[in-house]
Amino acid sequence: MVVCSRNRHMGFAGLTLAFAAAFMALAFVFPPSAQAGSDVTYVLHLPSSELPESIAIDHRGNMYLSRASADEVIKISPGGRRSAFATFPAGSTPLGVRLDASGNVYVAVAGSGVWRIPAGGGTPVKIAAIPGFPNGLAFDHRGNLYVSESAGGAIYRITRDGSVAIWSDSPLLAGMAGQGPCGTHPAGALGANGLAFDRHGNLLVANTTLATVVRIRVNRDGTAGSARVFAGPDCRLWGADGIALDVRGNLYVAANAERDIVRVSPHGRLHVLASFADGDLLYTPSAISFGTGRGDRDHIFITNFALFTNGVGAGVVTTDVGIPGRPLP
């Protein structure tokens, strides 16, 4: 059964899709929100051409944002100073961003693969060629890096020794072209997207067009175990993109098509934490990261990709998720 929320996006049917340089160009403008609905506030406004797709935050509070509209990752200091952190070959489309334990920055680049940037900045180095649409990233406790390939609906694993292989291609990871359970998604048939490991070591995967979160058990030998739907299908999750977990095991999902932030309990129950429909400042939310200051696990930072608003509202917003914090391990 698919649970559908009220229809807020009748204009999606008229969108024109075009994948160019392994990405999409969309032209449609939603009206700006008149007011903020809860405590969602801007911490960073960006020009409409920026399209920040993913976010990672280091232990000093620096933000790293991928610019999907350009070939760049930018760094924002806690004081708000912006600098170019890394530049990729011309025509690149950087998407997911993650940090390892040493502060090195990893970036999924559509049509290319995964690149690594030294913690202090420098020239990106391609560490893995992954075809299609590499997108979300997550590290396991052993330091292996997992990459979602959204066009083909698969998860790749890059081991610490550098080997690369498809880790799971469960049918639950595939997207749906055209009319899906919640409508026609403007980004096309994207499946597996945001990734996060839960406290039991299972991999959680957002499926964009099917409005689900899939849980894949990790076997003791590191291979992929059984996959099952953990949450959804539910149209509150339509456009499930970036995800993040809090210290209690609640999952936060940026639903880009619904323009919602949804909290999913450890038992799979859904609660809309913030919504553009209620006046919250969410303009195509695409990725989520928790703050990394000592004890700071009660605020999430969200990239407003602003793709479906033609760049209106681009930047980073934050909101209190109401979870008592504790220091990161």
pLDDT of residue 323: 64
pLDDT of residue 326: 44
Separation in Å, CA 131 to CA 110, 125, 147, 201:
8, 17, 11, 26
- Reading the block at residue 169, the tokens are 């291609």
Q: Closest Cα partner for 127 from 143, 106, 148? A: 106
Confidence of residue 297 (pLDDT cuts 50, 70, 90): confident
In angstroms, rounded to a whole number, what is the distance separating the alpha carbons of residues 256 and 136? 14
pLDDT of residue 294: 58
**For residue 311, how many other CB atoms are within 10 A of its CB?**
20
Q: Is the pTM of this model over 0.85?
A: yes
Counting Cα atoms < 13 Å in the Cβ hemisphere of 11 gives 10
Average pLDDT value for residue range 147-155: 98
Confidence of residue 181 (pLDDT cuts 50, 70, 90): confident
Q: Closest Cα partner for 226 from 238, 214, 208, 237? A: 214
- Reading the block at residue 161, the tokens are 């020794």
Confidence of residue 4 (pLDDT cuts 50, 70, 90): low
In angstroms, rounded to a whole number, what is the distance separating the alpha carbons of residues 272 and 280? 11
Average pLDDT value for residue range 252-278: 96
Per the DSSP assignment, residues forming a β-bridge with 264 are 251, 270
- pLDDT (tens digit per residue) in 79-132: 999 999 999 999 999 999 999 999 999 999 999 999 999 999 999 999 999 999
Confidence of residue 325 (pLDDT cuts 50, 70, 90): very low
Q: Closest Cα partner for 137 from 4, 241, 8? A: 241
In angstroms, rounded to a whole number, what is the distance separating the alpha carbons of residues 312 and 45? 10
Angle at 313 between CA 311 and CA 319, to 5 degrees: 140
Residues 6+ apart with CB under 8 A from 43: 301, 315, 316, 317, 318
The full DSSP string for 21-55 is TTEE-----PPPPSS-SSS-EEEEE--TT--EEEE
Angle at 110 between CA 107 and CA 116, to 5 degrees: 20
Phi, psi of 309 (to 5 degrees): -115, 15
Question: Which comes out higher in pLDDT, residue 328 or 170?
Answer: 170
pLDDT of residue 67: 95
- pLDDT (tens digit per residue) in 241-264: 999 999 899 999 999 999 999 999
- pLDDT (tens digit per residue) in 26-72: 322 333 333 434 689 999 999 999 999 999 999 999 999 999 989 99
Averaged pLDDT of the chain: 87
In angstroms, rounded to a whole number, what is the distance separating the alpha carbons of residues 146 and 69? 24
Separation in Å, CA 241 to CA 191, 205, 290:
10, 9, 16
Give the chain's length.
Answer: 329
> Is the pLDDT reported for residue 17 higher than 70?
no
DSSP single-letter state for residue 234: B
pLDDT of residue 86: 96
Whole-angstrom Cα Rg for the chain: 18
pLDDT of residue 218: 97
Confidence of residue 173 (pLDDT cuts 50, 70, 90): very high
Residues 6+ apart with CB under 8 A from 83: 74, 75, 77
In angstroms, rounded to a whole number, what is the distance separating the alpha carbons of residues 70 and 92? 7
Per the DSSP assignment, residues forming a β-bridge with 56 are 64
